[in-house]
Structure formats: C-alpha cells, structure tokens
Structure 1
Amino acid sequence: MTQALRLVLADDHEVTRTGFVSLLAGHPQFDVVGQACNGQEAVELCEQLLPDLVILDIRMPVLNGLGAARLLQQRLPALKVVIFTMDDSPDHLEAAMNAGAVGYLLKDASRAEVIDALQRVAAGEEALNNAVSTRLLRRMTERNANGATTSCTNLTARECQVLGLVANGMSNREIGETLGITTGTAKAHVERVIGKLGAADRTQAAVRGIALGLVTQP
C-alpha cells in the first residue's frame, strides 16, 4: 500500500481545524500529523515534521498564511503549500501564487472538492478555485492588454501565441482559425503549453502564464 501523505494544518480557529481533520478522517491517502494556530507555529512544525503538504489559512495571528508560505518556500522548497480560506479575492490568489502556493481552496468547498484538490497537488499539479482564478485571469488579461511587458523564454514562439489566445478565452477551433492551423494541431499546442506550465487545465495555464509574464498578445 502507498504510504499516506503527511499534512500539517494551520488555522487559528480550532473548529475549522477539527472539521478539516474530520473531513479527511479515514481517507487512506492523507494523514494530518500536526496542527498549528498561527503561521509562525506552522513554519516551525513543518521544519520539525517535514510533511508532504501544508494547509494554511490566510488570516492568522503572529504570521499570516502568505508570510508563512513565503518562508516555507525559502526553507522547504519541496513542500507543497495549499491555501484554505474564506477569502475569494483575486488579489489574495495572486499573492498566494507569488508566495509559492500551488493550491487555493475556499472553505465552502465540498469534501470531494477538497480531496480532489489535494490529490492533484500531491500529483504535482495546481489546484486553484475556478471562480477566483477566472476573475484573476480576466484582470491579468486586461492588465496585459494595457501595456504590460511580456517575455516568452519557456515556450516556443508558437506556444506563446497559443497561450495568449487561450488567455483570451478562445476554443481550439478558434485558435486554429486564427493561426491558420487545424483544430487538432491547435489542441496539441494547447496540451503542450499546459504540460510545460505544470497546469491542470486551460484556465490554470492561462493564469500561470500571465502571472509569469509568458503571454504575448495575438
């Protein structure tokens, strides 16, 4: 049997921590090995226990979740960080991504959604709340259209074009028509872009691409 992934959970509300532990109770893939009530305690626990994942609330005393995420990225770069919050602000999602978080979940998510997200993170993917990431994507696209300077060092020129069209909400068929290629070729380009960016889907690829400055305008 595959060994369960070890989690540290940080939230200043005991009821939330208890509920999260109960949510994962009995699931063979996850084991909550430590709990913290603030970000500083979470950092210290992670350094002591070396878990696979850490779940952080944003709003905590002493050190908030974003500050803890930044410290953990520096000290334990292999640790996967997931933000678990009531805050559906695109600003905080962007800040979380910049701090190294690979997951952003809202506390009203269902048990199935939480487990699916944690499984995706454990598999090396990102798990970002779709509604919040879509709003961030829209804002970043507007920002980029208003003159942000972009670079495209990690993708080919064609893949940058494709990513820009994905960020503008185009389907594979529309991308093919715009670039004068077949729908199948467009789909292949999109799949390569998603893979290179380590994203789970088109939306996450667009969010990450824009955040990293990889999007060129079509």
Structure 2
Amino acid sequence: MSIEHVEAMQDHWWWRPGWRVGRRFYACHFELGEQSALVDLVARWQVVLRDFSGLDLIPGRWLHLTTEGIGFVDEVGSDEVVELRQQLSVRLAALSTPVVTFHRPVVRPEAVYLPATPVESIEAVRSTIRDVATEMFGDDRVEATPAQFRPHVSIAYSNTGQPSRPIAEALSRVDVDPVTVALDRIGFLEFHRDYRMYEWTTVERLGIGCCSKWSRDAARG
C-alpha cells in the first residue's frame, strides 16, 4: 500500500513522555550508515532538501530503520540487558534475513522518509523482539503496539510547522534508481536525542538469519 504525502509538517523535536536532556534509551534498530548504496541514495535526495531551513538533514552515520524500543537505561537493569541480548541473538538468528528496497521518499508529519518494502520480513524481526521483551519484562514494560507499523528510513526531520507541498515538489524533480539491501544485523543501541538528532553511544550488533556469538554459544550448550 502506497504512503501519501501529508499537507503540512510539524516540529519533530517536542519532548515525548519520559524524555529529557541527558536521558538515554535502549532500542533495537537497524543501523544503516555502512550501507554505502543506501547512504548514496539518501545523499541524492538530501541535495534538494538543503534549501529548506525547516528540515534537519540526517548525517549518514545516524541513518537507521526504527524497529522496536526497549526502555530507558535507568529503568532496565544491566543483568536484564545481558539476558535480553542473549535471548534475542538466539531467536533472531533463526529468522530469514530481511531484503528490502528503498526508492522515493514521502513527506510525513514530522519527517521526510524512505519507505522500506516489502514490510513482512522486518515485521517478523520486530515481532520477535517484542515477544522476547514481553516474555522477560511482561506486557506493562513493553511499548504499546502502534496502529500501523511502517518501516522506513528518515532522511530529514522537520524542526517547525511548515507546508509540505514545496518539499514534495522539489523531490518530484529528482530521478534516481531504487536501492535494495540485505539487513543481516540489527543494533542493540543505547542512544539519546540531546542535540536534535538520534545518536547512539553504544551498540551491539545481533545477527539475523546467521549465527551470532550468542547463538553459537547457545548451540554448543
């Protein structure tokens, strides 16, 4: 199902519940800064977005596909983190590696982003992470399921209220080829948003559809 441009954008950087300067969060997201073809594609689109002062362009190193939040660092114990990563490594290694395509961006309420298609294999990864987290923490500590999961890679965040039509028109004049990537690792991230950008300070990569360190150890018993 196609995703349509919105009519107007709003500021992405309002403080969501629980967030404040200095607070850190655990999440499992796909880091994409090493996917050179995708980084190049994003750069092509960002060329036409540089003239819009109401957009914060996302540097290649911070490109990511948001997948599943875990919890604030000060609310998750260090032993829980170790156990969660162990369980995720085993379960994710049993899945198929997502292979997804990115092409044309859409203008959404708080960001310009590239939809990822097809969505099914990413949904399987996300569901597995949620299942493991729910088994460990219980329903009350797992984020509510959004009404609709739309896997995507944001290329710019809106920092103000603004009409979307000039942005959409600028994007419509660009002609590029789609990019397909295999997402065989997901990052277990600790990140913050102190500087109007999502920046992770630590990351452990977990294999998908392959044997990670934890899953090899588990297989050996």
Decide which structure has greater strand share.
Answer: 2
What TM-score comes out, normalization by structure 1 length?
0.26
Relative contact order, higher structure (CA 8 A, sep 6+) = 2
Decide which structure has greater helix share.
Answer: 1
